[in-house]
């Protein structure tokens, strides 16, 4: 059994300590099991077929202890890990395109649906006003976001506001845009999911449909999963691989 371990004590600063496990008993989800986890909306006028509508509920993965085994929960974690942690307009656009070209066709196939819809949320952005038009249907990809270093802070205004003219001389304004909400993964566990897939040659689709792949979300201030293992509440013999984040010592794998 390969187990990701820390070099010494588990206690560090309060950060996430996520783990990905591969169990010895390999099982695969059927399409019926996948479909059963979602409410599939059938378009009333029959023009769009079955629609799988995803939701953004509970898709922020930090330090709260959670064990993810269902297709739906593992999907939320994968999207948060690969598409989440968006903090500017450019990253939202990139994530939205990645969802459209990678996740959407994969989910259509796995769930056997005609369409997949991702929820949108309203976010505040500062954009150059000369890119804003009166066309309410304007695609958010056409807006040009003002970089932070171009903003001019105005001490005379309340609540940390900025002047309407940037350092470059261009006017800027604040607007709300509808962007996809893919959630987030705590900074300490960022990249763990991608490294896990690369290391063990697992595709996103395999990760989703394999019941033997489990995600454990934990925090190193409590280390609930480690405590459960130490107390004998987890059958270590059933685990083939335990791949975990290492807070400050780097990754060290023992066989």
Q: How far apart are CA 46 and CA 54, in angstroms?
A: 20
Contact 151, 165 (CB under 8 A): no
User: What is the average pLDDT value for the chain, to the nearest integer?
Assistant: 85
Which tens digit of pLDDT belongs to each residue from 81-107? Answer: 999 999 999 999 999 999 999 999 999
Cα distance between residue 199 and residue 39, in whole Å:
34
| Helix (H/G/I), strand (E/B), else coil: 176 | strand
CA distance 44 to 57: 25
Q: Which residue has the higher pLDDT, 46 or 252?
A: 46
- Give just the sign of the alpha carbon dihedral 133, 136, 138, 143: positive
pTM for this predicted structure: 0.84
């Amino acid at each position: 059994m390969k187990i990701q371990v820390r070099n010494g004590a588990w206690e560090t600063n309060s950060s996430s300590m996520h783990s990905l496990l591969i169990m010895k008993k390999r099982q695969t989800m059927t399409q019926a099991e996948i479909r059963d986890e979602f409410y599939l909306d059938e378009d009333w006028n029959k023009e769009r077929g079955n629609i799988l509508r995803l939701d953004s509920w509970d898709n922020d993965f930090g330090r709260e202890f959670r064990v993810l085994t269902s297709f739906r929960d593992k999907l939320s974690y994968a999207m948060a890990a690969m598409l989440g942690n968006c903090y500017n307009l450019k990253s939202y656009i990139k994530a939205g395109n990645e969802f459209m070209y990678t996740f959407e066709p994969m989910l259509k196939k796995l769930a056997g649906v005609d369409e997949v819809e991702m929820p949108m949320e309203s976010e505040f952005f500062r954009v150059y006003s000369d890119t804003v038009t009166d066309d309410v249907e304007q695609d958010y990809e056409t807006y040009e976001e003002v970089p932070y270093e171009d903003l001019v802070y105005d001490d005379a205004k309340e609540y940390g506001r900025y002047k309407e003219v940037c350092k470059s001389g261009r006017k800027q304004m604040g607007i709300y845009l509808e962007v996809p909400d893919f959630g987030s993964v705590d900074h300490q566990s960022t990249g763990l999911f991608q490294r896990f897939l690369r290391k063990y040659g697992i595709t996103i689709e395999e990760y989703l449909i394999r019941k033997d792949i489990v995600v454990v979300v934990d925090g190193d201030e409590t280390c609930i999963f480690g405590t459960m293992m130490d107390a004998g509440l987890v059958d270590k013999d059933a685990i083939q691989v335990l791949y975990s984040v290492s807070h400050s010592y780097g990754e060290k794998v023992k066989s």
